[in-house]
Amino acid sequence: MAKAGLRQLRLNEIWWLVSPQNPLKPTQPSWESRAQTVRNLPLPPNMQVSDVEFRYGTHYTVDLLERLKTRHPDINFIFMMGADNLLQLPKWRDWETIVETVPIAVIARPGSPIKARLGQAARQYNQARIGEDHAHILQHHAAPAWTYLTLPLDTRSSSALRAAQSK
């Protein structure tokens, strides 16, 4: 997903943001365990695991994005998420503010990619959608703007990836 972001979105770098605790997931592995999973990946030099959300003490994406944009006004951020998150985005705190703060790249996930594109967030911001063929302009576009990228899909969950790495 991240490599596709670099390639299709023509990004300079990617920050892997490991959330201290997803409010929609009451039980999950520790932050350190999840961060270590990403650190164990063979990441290219232009990808880094960031603990910025942990350091800032933010619990919600909307707060993190506001802080990042304030601290780094010269960076054109793009928020990358899986299609499963696009579908549940209306459950996030101040989700409309998120969409209107930074452009979003939605990456297709195994399962029902059509469902995500028919969900509330996709319908409500349909006019802000940029076609996949023009995804490379997303970083130069003001929010609200989003694109949906269909890539070769890996059916393994993050939990399965962690389990494979621990063997």
Residues of the chain with pLDDT under 70: 20-26, 28-29, 31, 111-113, 152-167
Per-position b or e across 83-122, b if 16+ CB within 10 A of its CB: bbbbbebeebeebeebbebbbbbbbbbeeebeebbebebb
Q: What is the pLDDT of residues 135-161, one digit of tens each?
A: 999 999 999 999 999 876 555 555 565
Which helix (H) or strand (E) segment holds residue 62: the answer is helix 61-71
- Sole residue written with tokens 């995500």: 116
Domains of the chain: 2-24+40-165 (3.40.50.620)
Counting every residue written for the chain, the total comes to 167
Q: What is the pLDDT of residues 30-40, one digit of tens each?
A: 767 777 787 88
Q: Are 103 and 141 in contact (CB under 8 A)?
A: yes
pTM of the shown model: 0.81
